[in-house]
């Protein structure tokens, strides 16, 4: 494995970055990185198109690529051409990606145009790199960074966590009847019916529930069911809810925390075929130990709902 290539995060200040990222959590992390580390507001985003990305990126220069799903390497090879054709017409200082197959698809742009390439591993990878990270760490010219394991893995650099300055405080008392928002993100490749059953076991008839589920659930659910919200619709629904329940997708967690909401979060687990691995369990531990989510790893009680109905603000 290659030796560590030293890197100072301060060198990114005011740099114009081409972010090449998947939608959802990876895009949310990229936007947090842009703000946290002082990158240029004129940075450019290449990602996948959906209601959420169109809304989130409305004030940024951005371009949409064909969708590449989890470990869809053939599609990643094909989308490399789109990345090159788009990138060759843009002015930027360096490339940053945060994971998934699209990060590997960015390598030809980096190699052909000799632009620096930073790979910043997702916050959900707390112990070791993802498969994408393990691939890119073998490329000598790629600078690999992690806020979790960067200091202890050969070839990687440690950076400050984008979560390091987030904290939450109690705003008002809980309730007994709840307006609940359940959001499972925009990852339609994997179902999460277990979380739905957990919620159904906790709610009562007089609770009001809004569901954001990007697939067709097996049973009719009480309340309102929507496949995807725009970013502003998501914000409005979340802020007007007493309780927000989500999976441990990094995108949903970051969005909610930045809205001042401490959600209840249930991690997807590979043993239930809810994801390809257990990185959401690592995400749960990271956010729970930072006091940013409620204690709800595999169940939700009425007491959990009452606790979560405390509205939280970022200090």
The 10s digit of each residue's pLDDT in 2-43 is 555 667 878 889 999 999 999 888 898 999 899 888 999 999
Looking at residue 278, its pLDDT comes to 86
Mean pLDDT in residue range 204-229: 91
Residue 81's CB is within 10 A of a number of other CB atoms, namely 12
Q: State the chain's mean pLDDT as an integer.
A: 87
| Residues β-bridged to residue 96 | 19, 118
- Return phi, psi of residue 143, to 5°: -90, 115
Mean pLDDT in residue range 45-61: 90
Helix 250-258 and helix 279-289: axis angle, to 10°?
20
Mean pLDDT in residue range 257-272: 89
d(CA 219, CA 140) in angstroms, rounded, equals 50
Looking at residue 97, its pLDDT comes to 96
Contact 56, 84 (CB under 8 A): no
Mean pLDDT in residue range 59-88: 88
d(CA 256, CA 250) in angstroms, rounded, equals 10
The 10s digit of each residue's pLDDT in 151-210 is 899 889 998 887 776 666 655 555 678 999 999 876 667 788 999 999 999 999 999 999
- Rounded percentage of the chain residues whose pLDDT exceeds 70: 90
Contact 314, 260 (CB under 8 A): yes
Domains of the chain (ranges, CATH numbers): 9-158 (3.40.50.2000), 168-314 (3.40.50.2000)
Tokens of 186: 């925009």
């Amino acid at each position: 494995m290659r030796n560590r290539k030293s890197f100072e995060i301060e060198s990114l200040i005011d740099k114009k970055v081409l972010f090449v990222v998947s939608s959802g959590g990876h895009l949310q992390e990229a936007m947090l990185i842009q703000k946290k580390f002082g990158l240029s507001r004129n940075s450019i985003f290449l990602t996948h198109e959906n209601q959420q990305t169109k809304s989130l990126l409305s004030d940024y220069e951005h371009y949409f690529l064909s969708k590449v799903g989890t470990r869809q390497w053939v599609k990643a090879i094909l989308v490399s051409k789109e990345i090159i054709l788009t990138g060759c017409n843009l002015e930027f200082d360096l490339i940053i990606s945060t994971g998934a197959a699209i990060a590997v698809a960015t390598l030809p742009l980096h190699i052909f145009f000799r632009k620096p390439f930073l790979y910043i591993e997702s916050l959900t990878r707390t112990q070791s790199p993802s498969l994408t990270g393990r691939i890119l760490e073998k490329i000598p010219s790629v600078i690999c960074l992690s806020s979790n394991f960067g200091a202890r893995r050969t070839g990687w650099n440690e950076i400050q966590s984008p979560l390091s300055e987030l904290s939450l405080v109690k705003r008002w008392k809980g309730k007994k009847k709840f307006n609940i928002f359940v959001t499972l993100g925009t990852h339609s490749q994997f179902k999460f019916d277990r979380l739905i059953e957990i919620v159904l076991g906790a709610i009562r008839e007089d609770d009001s529930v809004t569901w954001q589920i990007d697939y067709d659930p097996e049973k009719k659910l009480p309340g309102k069911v929507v496949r995807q919200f725009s970013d502003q619709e998501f914000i409005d629904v979340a802020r007007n809810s007493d309780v927000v329940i989500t999976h441990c997708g990094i995108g949903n967690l970051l969005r909610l925390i930045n809205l001042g909401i401490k959600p209840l979060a249930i991690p997807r687990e590979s043993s239930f075929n809810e994801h390809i691995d257990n990185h959401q369990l690592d995400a749960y531990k990271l956010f729970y130990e930072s006091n940013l989510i409620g204690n709800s790893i595999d169940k939700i009680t009425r007491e959990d709902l009452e606790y979560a109905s405390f509205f939280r603000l970022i200090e």
